[in-house]
Chain A
């Protein structure tokens, strides 16, 4: 593996953690978010500042994860008050709010961002393997949640939250849990990105990033862990092979998102399921 392939693999793995985080919120729990990049950014900035202050990766990454997750709970609390269609606007607003604050803040480097971030103290391959382990853990955690009663409750919330409430489900608590877990994963991804790039600017965490991650989740098939991972690999590598996509990211991913939602709401996973007639088997009697 050359240095280029190692970098590519690392960024794919970071994006997998990021996308699995959004999949927790949007895929499992059915709460749309157009501001996922803000939590990615919170993790990245938190990690960058602490790393420059001399803290080791174990501390900086954990702090980034916790801060992003805590911010996610706050946004989740706000989201409890708005209906579904308005949640998209609210989360989009959170994304722009984050950018606005970061751009104005001298302490966060303003437009110029933060540079000369210390390395994580590993070789490039070592760091890739480290991210690989964390991505595997994120995937395992996602599958664990999906198969638990919590995942079952998320299904109910995503389907029809009013009915879930009538059946005794504390819908608010489950939504907040989804936000907390999903945004914490974004924060971890952000911290890893900081150590990977060692130079961050506000635009890394803008609206285009939020839309890109959302299209990874949608193309993969809302809620399907393997589908989302596959889509993340493809959509991360696509701009590398077709350079022109980088210049029209918002257009390409926006169009992709629209097409999938309109014509194949099940995404890749839904398409395969129909093709192979696999059915998820919770409680199947036969």
Chain B
């Protein structure tokens, strides 16, 4: 089966910092891959390079076989490659619901001329409400995103990404800021979305949930991929253990 995502030789430098050094990995359709690694390992940079938010020094990125590394971010998104942010980025002037409606209207805003003459948003609102329900934040729909707790915004970001109907969803620490119960529930929701056909790559520090829901683990350390495979085997890998040794407890477990 051809990979839905094939990333080869991604190198990203920020000034003197080597954030990523020749990283390659593949995702097959329908997979649920989790990406772990200490803080500063380059996980966020990797998904930002995949979506085109960060310009890599070199990279080959193929989505279902198609080379996309020269496409602008919005075109990659329209091909079904969607990410959420580690540091949440809601539209502050909008309500929780409006944030999701906007994404649900991706068909309407594709062309400026189409957008200019379309007004109806009832269909988008229904879809957005369903997604908020799925993420368990329907009661907050009409609230302004300002002043919402991090857990709500995190889930809103997942709903907003889902509203784009992604083929491949890249989640950057979606469980951070959620309490134990909320985290387990969201992990279940993500696993459920995956079972319904969306391929998932999830960066996550919450190892308990990662091991519970994902089928494969990719480990980054210091800008390099140090392990990739079955979660249990990966966790026994000496290189992975070494990467966490000396890091403080919160880094390793959180």
Contacts and interface: CB of A to CB of B under 8 A. Distances in A.
Interface of A: 145, 147-150, 152-153, 155-156, 158-160, 162-163, 165-171, 173-174, 177, 282-286
Given A159-B91, A283-B125, 6 more contacts: A147-B119, A156-B102, A167-B74, A170-B74, A170-B110, A285-B129
Report which residue of A145, A156, A159, A167 has the largest number of chain B beta carbons within 10 angstroms of its beta carbon: A167
Contacts of B85: 163, 166
A282 B74 contact: no
Per DSSP, chain A at the interface is helix
B137 interface: no
A283 to B, nearest CB: 5
A158 B93 CA distance: 9
A284 B103 CA distance: 16
A160 B89 contact: yes
A283 B97 contact: yes
Given A149-B105, A159-B92, A283-B95, A166 B112 contact: no
Nearest to B124: A283
A283 B112 contact: no
A168 B91 contact: no
B82 interface: yes
Contact of B91 (A145, A155, A171, A284): A155
A165 B73 contact: yes
Q: Return the 3 tightest CB-CB contacts between A and B, nearest first.
A: A168-B77, A150-B115, A149-B115
Nearest to A157: B91
B179 interface: no
B235 to A, nearest CB: 32
Given A163-B89, A283-B95, A173 B142 contact: no
Interface in B67-107: 72-74, 77-78, 82-83, 85, 89-95, 97-98, 101-103, 105-106
Given A160-B89, A283-B95, A177 B51 contact: no
B147 to A, nearest CB: 14
A223 B98 CA distance: 17
B160 interface: yes
9 contacts: A152-B109, A152-B115, A153-B102, A155-B91, A159-B94, A170-B112, A173-B111, A283-B97, A286-B142
B109 A153 contact: yes
Contacts of B134: none
Contact of B121 (A165, A168, A283): A283
Given A283-B98, A283-B121, A168 B93 contact: no
Contacts of B141: 285
A69 to B, nearest CB: 14
A261 to B, nearest CB: 16
Contacts of B72: 165
Contacts of A160: 89, 91-92
Given A166-B51, A177-B112, A282-B98, A152 B74 contact: no
Contact of A162 (B89, B97, B118): B89
